[in-house]
Amino acid sequence: MLLALAIVAVWGTNFVVIKNCLSVFPPFLFAALRYVFALLPAIFFVPKPKVGWLSLCLYGLFTGVGQFGVMYYAINGQISPGLASLVIQTQVFFTIGFAMFFAREGLRFYQAVAVAVAMTGLLIIAVHTDVSTSFLGLALVVFAGLSWGAANTVSRQAGSINMLSYVVWASAFSVPPLALISYFFEGGADHLSGVILAAPVGAWIGVLWQSWGNTLFGYAAWGWLLSKHPAAVVAPAPLLVPIFGMGASAYFLGESLPLWKVLAAGLVITGLVINLFWPSLRLRLRNLIA
C-alpha cells in the first residue's frame, strides 16, 4: 500500500509538470523525449528481461503512443490537467475487464459496486464540458485509459520478471512511432530541432522527471505490483491520482475546483475505498458479531 501511494503521488503531481512542459514541447515530441531518456542510458546497464519481443513491443506501443502520446495531445488544449488525471482512471475498468476476459479472473459483487460508484464520478465529468475541456479531450483521455489497461494486461501476462528491465527495453518500441508522428505532424526536422535547442533548463528537468520518476520508477513499480496481486485489487489504486492531480493543478496552475469536480472526485475515491477495504471491514464485522 505504501508503494502504491508513492506511485500515485508521483503520477498525480506529474500532471502539473506535463502542462508546463507542453508550453515548450509539442505533445508527441515531448512523449518521444520522455522515452528516449527512459531508454538511454539505462538499456546499457540492465539486461533484456526474459520475455518475448512481442510483449515488449506491445507494452511500448500501448504506453508510449496509446497512453502518453494521446494524453499529452489531449492536455495540450483539449482538457485541463486536473480533469485528465481523473478521466485517465478509466484504465481501472479496462484493466479489470481485460483480466476477466484473458485471465478468467472473477469480479466479486463488492468490486462491481466499487466500479459502478467510481464510474458515476467519471460520468459527472462527461456532462460538464467547458472552454477548458472538450468532448474530444474526454474521448482522447478515455482512449489513453484503454491503452493503459491493455499495457497492464500485457505486463501481467509477462509473469514474474524484472519490471525495471521490462519498462526500459519496451521503451525502445515507444520512441520510433512517437518520433515519426512528431516529424510528420509537428513541424518537420528543422522546426523540431529548433524547439529542442531552444528549450530552457526547466523544460528538460520536466522531461527527465517524466523519464526517470514516472516511467522508470512509477511504471516498473506498478508492473511489479500487478505481477504479484490480482488486477481487481491493484488496478483501482491509481484512483488516488486525481486527488494529487486536481490538488496540484489547483495550487500551481490555478485550476478551478467547483462543486461538481469535488463530487466527481469523491465518488471515484469512494469506489477505491470500497474495492480496497471492504473485505477487511466485512471480516472485522463478522468477528464483532461472532
* Integer Cα distance of 225 and 219 in angstroms: 10
* Integer Cα distance of 226 and 61 in angstroms: 19
Query: Which grid coordinates belong to 51?
Result: 520475455
Range of lowest pLDDT (77-91, 101-115, 253-267): 101-115
Give the pLDDT confidence of 174-201 residue by residue, as tens digits.
999 999 999 999 988 888 899 999 999 9
First-residue to last-residue Cα distance in the chain:
29
Q: Is 273 exposed, middle or buried (CB count within 10 Å of its CB: 0-12, 13-18, 19+)?
A: middle
The pLDDT of residue 31 is above 80: yes
| pLDDT at residue number 60 | 95
Name the residue with higher pLDDT: 126 or 58. 58
Which of these, 91, 207, 81, lies nearest to 150 by C-alpha position?
91
Name the residue with higher pLDDT: 9 or 182. 182
48: helix, coil or strand? coil
Give the pLDDT confidence of 250-279 residue by residue, as tens digits.
888 888 888 888 888 888 778 877 877 777
| pLDDT at residue number 103 | 64
- pLDDT more than 70, % of the chain: 94
Q: In which band, very low, low, confident or very high, does the pLDDT at 290 lie, cut at 50, 70 and 90? A: low
Q: What average pLDDT score do residues 98-120 get? A: 79
The pLDDT of residue 101 is above 70: yes
- Partnered with residue 130 across adjacent β-strands are 133
Query: Which grid coordinates belong to 170?
Result: 519496451
* Integer Cα distance of 63 and 171 in angstroms: 9
Report the amino acid identity of residue 144. A
Name the domain count of the chain. 1
Which of these, 195, 198, 214, lies nearest to 206 by C-alpha position?
214
Q: What average pLDDT score do residues 75-83 get? A: 88
The pLDDT of residue 159 is above 70: yes
Query: Which grid coordinates belong to 162?
Result: 524484472
* Integer Cα distance of 232 and 234 in angstroms: 6
Range of the domain at 76: 2-289
* Integer Cα distance of 49 and 286 in angstroms: 45
Give the pLDDT confidence of 37-47 residue by residue, as tens digits.
999 999 999 99
| pLDDT at residue number 231 | 65
- Partnered with residue 133 across adjacent β-strands are 130
The runs of H, that is alpha helices, within the chain are 2-21, 27-39, 53-61, 70-75, 81-87, 91-102, 109-126, 135-157, 163-170, 175-185, 188-198, 201-208, 220-228, 231-234, 241-253, 259-289
Q: What average pLDDT score do residues 19-35 get? A: 94
Q: In which band, very low, low, confident or very high, does the pLDDT at 105 lie, cut at 50, 70 and 90? A: low
The pLDDT of residue 222 is above 90: no
| pLDDT at residue number 205 | 93
The pLDDT of residue 234 is above 80: no
Which of these, 89, 86, 106, lies nearest to 152 by C-alpha position?
89
Tell me how far CA of residue 56 lies from CA of 144, 162, 218, in angstroms.
18, 12, 17
| pLDDT at residue number 286 | 76
Tell me the whole-structure pTM to 2 decimals: 0.84
DSSP result, 169-192: HHGGGTHHHHHHHHHHHTTHHHHH
Region of residue 187 (phi > 0: left; psi between -120 and 50: alpha; otherwise: beta): left
Range of lowest pLDDT (83-97, 222-236, 266-280): 222-236
| pLDDT at residue number 232 | 64
